[in-house]
Structures are given as structure tokens and as C-alpha cells.
Amino acid sequence: MDEQHITSAFDRDLEAMQAQIMKMGGLVEAAIMEAASALETRDEELAQKVLENDAAIDGLEEIINSEAARVIALRSPTAVDLRLILSVMKIASNLERVGDYAKNIAKRTGVLAQTGHILDSGAALRRMAREVELMLKDALDAHVQRDAELAQDVINRDLDVDQMYNAMFREFLTYMMENPQNITPCMHLHFIAKNIERMGDHVTAIAEQVIYVVAGETPAEERVKGDTTSTAPQEG
């Protein structure tokens, strides 16, 4: 098999993996917004759909990892190509984690459906989720286009998500102190907000992988985290 044939075969393999990444990304974007919408409207049927669709996200990660392992074994990729394959695997892993957080949100919808609304918390959480979903869309676009500048913009925007989380955390604390009956729903809402904030972290990790592929190294400066509640209860 000549070198040109090997190169074209590798390119086809890579295109196939990229297509799977974009398909997985589309499912994750939908999961984020459907989970947030289900929460806001207390739509348990939509929440169940998010739970059921998570299996497809997990399945795509397995396909991508298997394909990546096959390509590494058969094609003996160069250092640059290997870097790209490994980044695809890491992106798939981060997408899978974002999907898990969407599933966690959907799981709490049924519980919260039995409680009263805490002001406009559902709408606030949906806005926060929408920001993460837009970040994910841009991170995936940056990946396809090898756009390090767009990837850096995604990283910078994670600070906005952290600040939204901080504001909601303070509001939930206030509601819990005002009325003990608010404690249970506010704890659930806090964990949901934290799940969305964690989504932002994983989307940021995807953007960092784009910069790694383009520049050969991850961003040199440590990213400033805007989450000032690191000692608060967290759910992984």
C-alpha cells in the first residue's frame, strides 16, 4: 500500500470520527436545552426523553473510542495526526460528561414537579443552560474549523457562566434562610445550577483541546474560575 493511499485512508477515517463527534455534539446540545426546558415547565415526559436519549450519547463515545483505537493501530499516525486523534477522544469524553449532567438535571425534574416554584429559578437556569449550549456550539465549530481564536472566546465566556451560578447560589441561600420549606427545593435547584456550571467546565475543556490541536499546547495561563462557592455541596 503506497503512502498516498495510506494518507487518503487516514483522512477518511478522520472524517468519519469528526462526523461522529458532530453527531454526538448535536445530541448533547439538544439534551442541555431539553433538560432545562423540562425543568422550567415541569415537563416530566420531556425529562424522560432526555434520560432515554443519553444511551445514544454514550454509544457514540464508545464508537469514537473504538474507531480511534483502530486508526492508531492500523495507520501508525504521525505525531501531529496522533495529537488530533487523542483530542477527538478527549472531546468525546467531555461531551459524554455534559450529557450526564443533562441527565442529572432531568432526574430532578420529577422531584421538583411536586414542589412549588422558587420565583423565576427555572427561567434563570434555562438562561444559564442556553449560554452553555451556545458555548458548546462554538467550541464544536472551532474544532471543525481549527479556529483557536473562537476556542479562546469560548474559554473566556465560561466566566459568565460561573458568575450566573454564583448569583443563583446566593439567591438560593436567601430563600432557604427566609423559609425552611424552601430548603428542599432550593437544594435540588442548587445542584442543578452546579451541574450546569460543571457543563461549562467541560465545554471549556473541549475548547482547550482545539487550541492544543492548533498550537501544539494547551493555553499557558491557568484559567480564572469565577465560581466562588467551591466549598458548597457538589454533585459529580
Q: Which of 107-111, 112-116, 175-179, 196-200 is the least confident region? A: 112-116
Q: How many CA atoms lie less than 13 Å away from 98 in the CB half-sphere?
A: 32
Cell of residue 217, nine digits:
499546547
The pLDDT > 70 percentage for the chain reads: 88
Distance from the first to the final alpha carbon of the chain: 48
**Cβ atoms of residues 106 and 38 within 8 Å:** yes
Q: How far is CA 34 from CA 13, 25, 47, 49, 51, in A?
A: 32, 14, 7, 8, 10
Q: Domain 3-215: what homologous superfamily?
A: Phosphate transport system protein phou homolog 2; domain 2 (1.20.58.220)
State pLDDT tens for residues 137-157.
999 999 999 999 999 999 999
In whole angstroms, give the CA distance from residue 2 to residue 224. 48
Tally Cβ neighbours within 10 Å of residue 137: 15
In whole angstroms, give the CA distance from residue 9 to residue 81. 13
Residue 84: closest CA among 109, 64, 60? 64
Please tell me the predicted confidence (pLDDT) of residue 103: 97
The domain spans of the chain are 3-215
State pLDDT tens for residues 67-90.
999 999 988 888 888 889 999 999
* Average pLDDT, integer, range 12-36: 95
pTM here is: 0.88
> Which of the pair, 79 or 101, is modelled with greater confidence?
101
